Amino acid sequence: MSTKPSSLDSLRIDRSQAPAGTGRGWWIGLILMVLIGGGAWWFTRSKAVSVKTAIVQARGGGGEGGRTLLNASGYVTTRLEATVSSKITGKISEVLVEEGMKVEKGQVLAKLDASNVESSLRLAEAQLASVRLGLAEAAPQVEYAVEELKRLTSLASAKSVSKSDLGKAEAEAQSLQAKLARLKADVVVAERRVDEWRQQVDDTIIRAPFAGVVTTKDSQPGEMISPMSAGGGFTRTGICTLVDMASLEIEVDVGESFINRVTAGQPVVARLDAYQEWEIPGKVIAIIPTADRQKATVKVRVAFEQLDPRILPQMGVKVAFQSDRPAATADPGREVLSVPAAGVGQQAGRDVVWVVRDGRVERRAVTVAGTSNSEATISAGLSSGEAIVLNPPATLTDGCQVVTESTR
């Protein structure tokens, strides 16, 4: 009997029973695939970039007046400011002002110890009185001598008096007249000395040279003060600093490359850093005819059209120099915007900015009308209120997710 069929049956695989551990291996493989895929996503996902942003601000449009030609930064200054001191060296006995106080011209600010000069004044007045008494004593003697000379002269014509008596009378009269003239001169000298000491007494009273506001109080009672910086740190050189608030103006440093856009009398719009939404009209007073070669700037003086108590010396201010063209000749509807110059970059020869929208950035080409200091004027490509990235990192790409931090 043949054994071939049984040999073939022995080669068949029996699938009725699954190998031990087959189900566990399938689950392990699935978990490994999930872990590998998740790790790949974690390391390849786009991370959000932290950036600083600034809001695009409108700086004037053509429909309401002349367009903005140039933006610059400066400070509020005053043309009339003085550190009030004394004419003499002395000890302060009283200070009558405080910071923020308004004073009028001639108002007493402080007093110095006047005891010494007052004593000298009383001595000079006594000397004057003494000289006047001497003058009063000599006047009758002169009158008597003159009358006696006249009498002897008349008698001499009748040869009733000797020539020696007549000569003696003439000499006495002339001597008394000279003494009277000297006493009159002494009275004048004594009067001038009294005036001198009265002036020194008056110099111990320090008055305001002009009307203004006290900004600093520099001395206290008991300290020494001198018009010269003598005595080191123990001697003050001023009582207070007085500012005429009616003389406030703006000083702006304009880059010499853009000074051709500024003219005397040109209208400007100023914005204080403390009140950025407040537009203050003004005009250019003068362009100082010299340049700072270290900063490559030219100083420009700008006057306020109307002063306000909110305007204070040394405040920071942004100035927009306007075109003096009438509104009808300007381009209606065009909005001139201002952004920090740090937000404008160059790519492929074009000015570009990165606009933040819904947590992502978008690269956008813009038209820069001009730059001054830290501001750039944008005439096309942006809208007021949009946020742009400042100092954009080189890793930014279109659609990149960002975390923003607004700076203005």
Residue 159 has pLDDT above 50, yes or no: yes
Q: What integer best gives the mean pLDDT of the chain?
A: 80
pLDDT tens, position by position, 212-232? 999 999 889 999 988 876 555
Percent of the chain scoring above 70 in pLDDT: 79
Which stretches of 250-398 are DSSP H helices?
Answer: none
Give strand ranges (E) for 26-135: 49-55, 57-61, 68-78, 81-84, 90-95, 102-103, 108-112
pLDDT band at 330 (very low <50, low <70, confident <90, very high): very low
> Which letter, b or e, does each residue of 11-33 get, where b requires 16 or more Cβ atoms within 10 Å of its Cβ?
eeeeeeeeeeeeeeeeeeeeeee
State the pLDDT at residue 334. Answer: 53
| DSSP codes joined into one string, 169-181 | HHHHHHHHHHHHH
How far is Cα 93 from Cα 22, in angstroms, rounded to an integer?
Answer: 106
Mean pLDDT of 257-276: 91
| Confidence (pTM) | 0.55
pLDDT confidence tier of residue 1, bands split at 50, 70 and 90? very low
The reported pLDDT for the residue numbered 267 is 93
**Contact at 8 Å (CB) between 327 and 60?**
no
Contact assessment for residue 259 and residue 287, using Cβ atoms and an 8 Å cutoff: yes
Least confident of 96-100, 290-294, 397-401: 397-401
Between 170 and 192, residue with greater pLDDT: 192
Q: What is the mean pLDDT of residues 297-321?
A: 92
- Strand 205-207 and strand 49-55: the pairing is unpaired
Mean pLDDT score, 153-170: 71
3-state secondary structure of 182: helix
Q: Would the pLDDT of 41 be above 90? A: no
Q: What's the pLDDT score for residue 328?
A: 41
- Give the pLDDT of residue 46: 52
Q: Which pLDDT tens digit goes with each residue over 60-117?
A: 544 444 577 888 999 999 999 999 999 888 999 999 999 999 999 999 999 999 999 9
Average pLDDT, integer, range 389-397: 81
pLDDT band with cut points at 50, 70 and 90 for residue 200: very high
Cα end-to-end span (Å), the chain? 104
- Please tell me the predicted confidence (pLDDT) of residue 408: 57
* Domain annotation for the chain: domains and CATH numbers: 50-59+333-406 (2.40.420.20), 68-79+245-324 (2.40.30.170), 85-113+205-243 (2.40.50.100), 115-198 (1.10.287)
